[in-house]
């Protein structure tokens, strides 16, 4: 992941016109122009930055086992998530990996760059103490997401090792689980 560009934002407040401050790229939007507010201090609305992480085999979505996971590809889910997020002034980064180490690294690096992590850890949900420790250590609100209802499937999928360190879990709504996760992330603002 590249480092976000740093933009300099000049304050529009009449009383502190010399003041300026730094924000990470797209961290804020002006909700009203200075003119519209008649010279009143301009209100800033924070943009929610959401990191979507997808674990092993999710790159196969839409290509294998459509009877279990449907026909929608991960790229199509990403596109739906981006559309949904942009209509709600949220910024999204979307990644997939088959490697547990990548997921741990991305969770560790997320601090300071993202406000919320949405994680479909796939099979690592049920096995990974490393992911659980990373989520707990980083302390960013993390939403666990699944396409299928893991509680209604095989016994070994009933237990999530990451659930106790996540803010909540969304499971069983197919691709809608991902757009619901955008709304859940925004609700944490």
Pairing between strand 142-146 and 116-120? parallel
Pairing between strand 28-30 and 44-46? antiparallel
Pattern 71-110, ligand CA2, x by CB under 6 A: ----------------------------------------
Q: At what angle do helices 176-187 and 74-86 cross, to 10 degrees?
A: 30
User: Does the annotation mark 124 as catalytic?
Assistant: no
Pattern 107-146, ligand CA2, x by CB under 6 A: -------------x-xx-x--------------------x
CB nearer ligand CA2, residue 69 or residue 114: 69
**What is the closest distance, in whole angstroms, from the C-beta atom of residue 81 to ligand CA2 in the complex?**
14
Give me the numbers of helices (H) and strands (E) for the chain, helices first please. 5, 9
Q: Enumerate residues 6+ apart whose C-beta is below 8 A from 148.
A: 68, 69, 171, 172, 174
Q: Which residues bind ligand CA2 (CB under 6 A)?
A: 57-58, 60-61, 64-65, 69, 120, 122-123, 125, 146-148, 150, 157
Catalytic positions: 69, 146
């Amino acid at each position: 992941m590249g480092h976000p560009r740093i933009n300099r934002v000049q304050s529009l407040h009449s009383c502190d016109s010399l003041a300026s401050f730094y924000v990470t790229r797209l961290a804020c939007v002006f909700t009203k122009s200075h003119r519209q507010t008649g010279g009143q201090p301009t209100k800033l609305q924070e943009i929610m930055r959401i990191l979507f992480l997808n674990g092993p085999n999710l790159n196969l979505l839409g290509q294998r086992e459509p009877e279990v996971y449907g026909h929608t590809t991960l790229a199509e889910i990403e596109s739906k998530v981006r559309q949904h997020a942009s209509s709600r002034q949220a910024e999204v980064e979307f990644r997939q990996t088959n490697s547990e180490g990548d997921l741990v690294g991305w969770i560790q690096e997320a601090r300071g760059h993202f406000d919320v992590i949405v994680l479909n850890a796939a099979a690592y949900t049920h096995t990974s103490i490393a992911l659980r420790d990373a989520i707990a250590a980083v302390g960013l609100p993390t939403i666990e997401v699944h396409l299928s209802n893991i509680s209604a499937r095989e016994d070994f999928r009933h237990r999530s090792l990451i659930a106790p360190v996540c803010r909540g879990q969304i499971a069983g709504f197919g691709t809608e689980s991902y757009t619901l996760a955008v709304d859940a992330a925004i609700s944490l603002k």
